[in-house]
Amino acid sequence: MIRLVMLGTSGAMPTPRSNPSCFAVKFGGVYLFDCSEGCQRQMMKYGTNFGSVKAIFISHLHADHFLGLFGLVQSLNMTGRKEPLQLYGPKGTKKFLGTVFAMKEFMSSFPLEIIEVAPSKKPFYSNELFTVKAFNVKHNAPASLGFVMEGLSYRRFDMDKCKKVGVSGRMFSQLQEGGTVEINGKKVKYADVTYVQGGKKIVYTGDTMQCPAIATNAKDADLLIHDSCFLDKHKDHAKAKMHSTCLDAAKNAKKANVKKLILTHFSNRYDDLAPLLAEAKTVFESTELAEQGKEILI
């Protein structure tokens, strides 16, 4: 099971109720998607071990999406971290952040690997549990990315089939390790009593205005986390600032046939976020607001 923790939900300007948008994924370690200011404190506050961060994925180089890197690295220095930390971002990331982290005042005491990412159908990151690939979105930054995180497919036991042929107890581990067991004189193969379970798919838009790439890359996703800066009545502001409205997000979720939509990156003009949720639900019912500290299970 994949756990997501929303560490911040506001737009570029922090509000009394929330830090700027970013979230952590807990799945065989901790992975950050964007890193807003005060990120390590948010992680401590909401039960996420910042010392377990393995990689950080930066959607674009606007300050509200990377300012937390500097404090996080300093905190990791103080914990005596030795494990490498991988930092992925769009074109320009290595030159900019590499320059900052080369300064004595910001230098890490552990290997910090800064890797630039190009949009591609192929993953730029993979481990034993999931992959991450990037796609282009439209925002007023030199390069802006959305990310697709996909769990790897794996086999699960079909309990009805197992019961029918008599698989029980230690036979499950024997099948996983050896591939076959013998039951009442008959050979039962691992493939006979299992099925392939597809991995979960999570899509994060970063900051973006409406663009076709979102629905294309979010197709059949289990979760879409979407920029939702404005109500539809403020769509002119959204267009001018190259952000999305809650209706844009809902339309993309519906077109992509996603299972759940999470709205985030809210403009600080809204004290009450309920109207954004209500408006999105008129198009896509399975919609929720990102809430700081909220844990989502996928």
Catalytic residues: 64
As a whole number of Å, the end-to-end CA separation of the chain is 6
Cα-based distances in Å from 4 to 184, 202, 255, 297: 45, 10, 24, 6
Cα-based distances in Å from 35 to 73, 143, 175: 11, 17, 43
Do β-strands 53-57 and 22-26 pair in parallel, antiparallel, or remain unpaired? unpaired
Are 80 and 110 contacting, i.e. CB atoms less than 8 angstroms apart?
no
- CA pair distance 297, 4, nearest whole angstrom: 6
- The DSSP-derived string for 65-80 is GTTHHHHHHHHHHHTT
Do β-strands 22-26 and 30-33 pair in parallel, antiparallel, or remain unpaired? antiparallel
Q: Buried b vs exposed e over 160-174: b needs ≥16 C-beta within 10 Å? A: eebeeeebeeebeeb
Are 189 and 179 contacting, i.e. CB atoms less than 8 angstroms apart?
yes
- Radius of gyration of the chain, Cα coordinates, nearest whole angstrom: 21
Are 52 and 31 contacting, i.e. CB atoms less than 8 angstroms apart?
no
